[in-house]
Chains A and B, each alone.
Chain A
Amino acid sequence: MSGTATRAQARAAARPAPGRGRLPRSLRSAGGIFGAGWLLLLAVLSATASLWQPYRPDAQNLFVRLQGPGSSHWLGTDDLGRDTLTRVFAASGPALLAAALSVVVAFAVAVPLVLAAAEHGRRVERLASRGAEVMLALPVTIILLALVGAVGGGDTYLIMTVLGLLMAAPVYRTLLGVAQSLHRRLYIDAARVDGVGPVRIGIRYILPGMATVTAVQASQLFGLSVLIQSGLAFMGFGPAEPAPSWGGMIATASQDLYTDPWMMVPAGVVLALTVIAANELGDALAASPHEQERKRLRPRARRKPVPRPVKPEPRPLTPASPLKSVAPASGAPLLEVTDLSLGLAAGPPVVTSLTLRLAAGRVLGLVGESGCGKTLSALAVLGLLPPEVSLSSGSIRFEGRELAGMSERQLRPLRGRGIAMIPQDPMVALDPLFTVGSQLTAQLRRFRRIGSKEATRLAIEQLRLVGIADPARALRARPYELSGGMAQRVTIAMALAGQPRLLIADEPTTALDVTVQAEILDLLRGLVEDTGVAVIIVSHDMGVIADICDEVAVMYAGHIVEQGTATAVLEDPWHPYTTALLAASPHLAADQQVPERLVMIPGQVPAPGRWPGGCRFAPRCPFAEQRCQEPVDLAPHGGPGASGTLVRCARAKELRELRAAVQLASGDRGLAEERS
């Protein structure tokens, strides 16, 4: 969940409340308005034709044939002197009706089949799908021509019905996908447990979910149907003369191109506009509110200019020793993040005043609940923020080089070589179409400039070093053949291909079983000890942090609330949030007693843009006072300049003294008292 929680919150905060009784948001786009409007206009004009048409559609007048637009005939006349304006709109009624017929037929056939196939399991579905596949492959126009050959072109409604039957196949295929994914939702399971029958499930739960896709498909099918109709009419197989049809009028026009080129315009334009309208309507319906939201939040145009653009020199790599890395001079921090702030393009900040120091061979944990900004902070180091988030201020120094404000091109040499990422879900982080070996060797060759044979040998070494038992077999495997733990080991091997000095792991074990998680954490710990690589690990699990981290930063609502060594923060927390979080965890050490109830933190994490002015935890904190309405700095608990845990709480010292007093008074009942 790379920062999606934070961004989703911010978006929700920025979104205006949906109004009731107004046009659905999807239709308020220009395309939607045009589409619906034009079709409506056409329908009205053709229905009321007898009221407004200046001439009758079949009224010939050979004296005025092949005229251009004029005062008596606004859109000119055709080769028999008939008024084009009248004929163009007279053709629209039957065209719209016929297209509507084909759409109705297509859905009337496809929808019940889809519901049946989705509900009744594999055999029905396979049969229906094979049938649809065959139908999909049929050349529609050709078959229709055969039909025309049999019944003549005049019977438009029959032809459109057959078209609808043929079109049921693509509709079936699209709707089946939607229905199947809806079927996997748990509320369907819940309904089945309740004893809801398949028919009712289909109607009550699946159909409403298909509404949007149905509307989109219907619009597109409508447009296609109009096109095919007109195409047949163009060939001479449309409604019999003298009934007008757009295709027929264009065909007539093509015969008089030299003498009256204008004639091809009115019918063609109206036809084109109608199909465009249908497709635009479909597009507008397809654009979900999320899509429109995304388009509103455009990325910021320019980054801040880099103060000293420095080209990182390529480090000498040693192909012989795959995992040995060179640790820089001890004491100097590898990574220094100072006062980092990240914000959404359209609005609120999502991370503020983040300050971290990390030395080589140390592991730093960023811990917090979803939406606290920990993932975005980690991504910011490598410049991998999503498009709608950007760095608004602060500095990121890696080995002395300033990374903040660097362009993509400047950052790229650093990625993989200086800093590398370990992904959250290893199964999707590897390309499913290629073998593990090809992916790993590709990276090794790119970083170390070695040939393929050497790379293969090295790849086997790397895989063995990350704990894979049969590296040769792993190289030949595809990602989906691996278990989750193995896949994560592979991604770690890939991340190490360029011998980076810093690894950023974004919830690297969340997708894994707990026993496998333990193995991966052991592996990471081992790598740190053996090679001196530094690690930033992002997690929501305090236990994971306790397992491998040397230092911890606890984040809440976009900033750090407590920061120090893992032992200090987890065994002896100062901030009320940290304390509450630890007490809310059901994971207890062997010596701890199982509590009657876990500690609950009332309320919810505030979304970006809705952060309170002072302490952001104050609304939920049992110890909040008046002075907590003022912003608080992250400061050492022992006062300025003191060593030890940094905490962002105005009452930290006071609360600790209070607790000590209570402990003394009630005979050392520990933190339990304060927590309840």
Chain B
Amino acid sequence: MNEAVLMNEAGPEPALAVRNLSVRYRSGWRQQPVTAVDDVSFDIATGETVGLVGESGSGKSTIAKAVLGLQSPCAGRITLNGRDITHTSVRQRRSMVGELRAVFQDPFSSLSPFQTVGQTVAEPLRRQQVSAGRARELAAGAITSVGLPEDALSRYPHQFSGGQRQRIALARALVSDPDVIVMDEPVSALDLSTQAQVLNLLAELRDRRRHALLFVAHDLGVVRFLCQRVIVLYHGMVMEAGPAADVTARPKHPYSVALTAAVPVPRPGEQATRRAVRRAVTAQASAGAGQWNASAGPGSAGCPFAPRCPEATDVCRAQRPLPRQLEGRLVACHHAR
């Protein structure tokens, strides 16, 4: 039983709590089942912004989907304000609209082209039996709070740019004043300058401390900017978790080290240093690891990063490390210090 959970200091009930979440699915009807998420636990309190960061196959999007009810977990518990929402029906989801909302990655397919912006933003309220007039009022408030004019409500999504559409998606999430907002890579599809606009908006949201934000991203720089805490995932498991500034500036887990070294910054001098670090690390790691598409079988014992880790030893390959406390954060590594 995984005891080490990323919990806040004893305080009020966390807005969102995930315990021992595991998700398995089959990619094709004759394929082996893939374990996308393997025993992941974390909390988010109201007013907190937590980042789930990882590369493809890390399970971060699957976790978001499981929280939103789009994927069914095969083990574990998800609670929202203390209420168990691990397996919910459509009707139950309808009643949760005031508490849990989502923003998705692709601004071009996350808004229905057949409805006006106003209809899309107000729709979650209609589910809650809010009157049409009140719904319109709230929608207007939400749309202006994300920096768009009120007349946007009567227009169609295709008349807006990608950045504006993400803001509309955010307005749709905010309209019911939810407790938790799950954001699945909301800025990944945007240009740099548009991304900055939306990130600033999200930073304001964070600073208001009204909601619990779960922010899924593959970009460590974005997570560092926006999130207070970060959870680093690899092959469906938590590698390291802790305050964003600490984890990104002084990573302890070898994977976090590799990840931070790999993210390029627009400073040639700095990049030259990082390249030297990378070369040293690659020289040590076993060649050819992690290159083939078939997963190493996360059902197997041992640390999933062992094949690529420069510090891997036999115990790493034999026994999966449990997250342990280390300098104010959790690290799942036998050798980190």
- Measuring CB to CB, which residues of chain A are less than 8 angstroms from any residue of chain B? 122, 185-187, 189-198, 204-205, 208-209, 369-370, 468-470, 480-486, 513-519, 521-522, 525, 540-547, 549, 566-567, 570-571, 580-582, 584-590, 594-601, 604
Contact = CB atoms under 8 A, between A and B. Distances in A.
A196 B102 CA distance: 14
Contact of A541 (B55, B90, B264): B264
Given A193-B70, A468-B288, A585-B266, A369 B193 contact: yes
Given A518-B264, A543-B266, A566-B268, A585 B91 contact: no
B201 to A, nearest CB: 10
B174 interface: no
Contacts of B55: 513-516
Contacts of A599: 196
B68 A543 contact: no
Contact of B127 (A195, A515, A584, A601): A195
A544 B264 contact: yes
B200 A589 contact: no
A205 B110 CA distance: 12
Interface in B195-235: 195-197, 199-200, 203, 218-222, 224-226
13 contacts: A187-B112, A190-B169, A193-B102, A369-B192, A485-B291, A513-B218, A515-B259, A518-B261, A543-B264, A546-B264, A567-B268, A584-B196, A598-B200
A604 B161 contact: yes
B124 interface: yes
Nearest to A604: B161
Given A187-B111, A195-B127, A547 B161 contact: no
B270 interface: yes
Nearest to B204: A597
B32 interface: no
B303 to A, nearest CB: 16
B172 interface: yes
Contacts of A482: 291-293
A586 B199 contact: yes
Contacts of B111: 187
B213 to A, nearest CB: 16
Contact of A195 (B56, B94, B267): B94
A570 B268 contact: yes
A267 to B, nearest CB: 44
A586 B268 contact: no
Interface in B26-46: 29
Nearest to A544: B264
Q: Could you say which interface size class chain B belongs to?
A: 35 or more
A588 B225 CA distance: 9
A195 B270 contact: no
Contacts of B264: 517-518, 521, 541, 543-544, 546-547, 587
Contacts of A190: 102, 104, 110, 169, 172
B64 to A, nearest CB: 10
A649 to B, nearest CB: 18
Interface stretch (B135-143, B275-283, B325-333): B275-283
A484 B55 CA distance: 12
Nearest to A479: B293
A586 B225 contact: yes
A192 B93 contact: yes
A571 B110 contact: no
Contacts of B279: 522
B158 to A, nearest CB: 11
A470 B222 contact: no
Interface in B49-107: 55-56, 68-70, 90-97, 100-102, 104-106
A597 B203 contact: yes
Nearest to B263: A514
Interface in B98-138: 100-102, 104-106, 109-114, 123-124, 127
Residue in B172, B271, B279, B287 with the greatest tally of chain A CB atoms within 10 Å: B271
Contact of A543 (B193, B218, B271): B271
Contact of A525 (B29, B268, B275): B275
Given A192-B70, A598-B225, A588 B293 contact: no
Interface in B7-23: none
Contacts of B69: 192-193
Contacts of B104: 186, 189-190
A544 B267 CA distance: 10
Contacts of B70: 189, 192-193
A518 B308 CA distance: 14
Given A515-B258, A571-B267, A571-B268, 6 more contacts: A194-B93, A194-B94, A194-B123, A514-B263, A519-B282, A567-B268
A146 B285 CA distance: 72
A190 B197 CA distance: 23
A213 to B, nearest CB: 15
Given A193-B68, A194-B97, A522-B278, A585 B259 contact: no
B249 interface: yes
A186 B221 contact: no
A546 B106 contact: no
Contacts of B96: 195
A590 B195 CA distance: 21
Given A468-B291, A515-B259, A594-B245, A546 B94 contact: no
A469 to B, nearest CB: 2
A586 B224 contact: yes
Contacts of A586: 195-196, 199, 219, 221-222, 224-226
Given A186-B105, A193-B70, A585 B263 contact: no
Contacts of A595: 225
A620 to B, nearest CB: 9
Given A194-B127, A369-B193, A540-B192, A545 B101 contact: no
A500 B217 CA distance: 38
B262 interface: yes
A187 B266 CA distance: 35
A584 B106 CA distance: 21
A329 B109 CA distance: 52
A370 B192 CA distance: 9
B151 interface: no
Given A194-B97, A469-B287, A588-B224, A514 B262 contact: yes
Contacts of A469: 287-289, 291
10 tightest Cβ-Cβ pairs between the two chains A and B = A469-B288, A543-B264, A195-B94, A195-B93, A542-B266, A587-B221, A584-B196, A513-B55, A518-B262, A186-B110
Contacts of B299: none
B149 interface: no
Contacts of A485: 291
Contacts of B293: 480-483
Given A185-B109, A486-B292, A587-B263, A571 B269 contact: yes
B191 interface: yes
Nearest to A595: B225
A589 B265 contact: yes
A469 B193 CA distance: 39
A570 B267 contact: yes
B292 A483 contact: yes
B290 interface: yes
A120 to B, nearest CB: 13
B90 A195 contact: yes
Nearest to B91: A195
Given A468-B291, A482-B293, A483-B293, A587 B199 contact: no
Of A187, A468, A519, A596, chain B has the most CB atoms within 10 Å of the CB of: A187
A195 B95 contact: yes
A194 B218 CA distance: 26
Contacts of A515: 55, 258-259, 262
A601 B97 contact: no
A458 to B, nearest CB: 20
B255 to A, nearest CB: 9
Contacts of A604: 161
Given A193-B102, A514-B263, A597 B221 contact: no
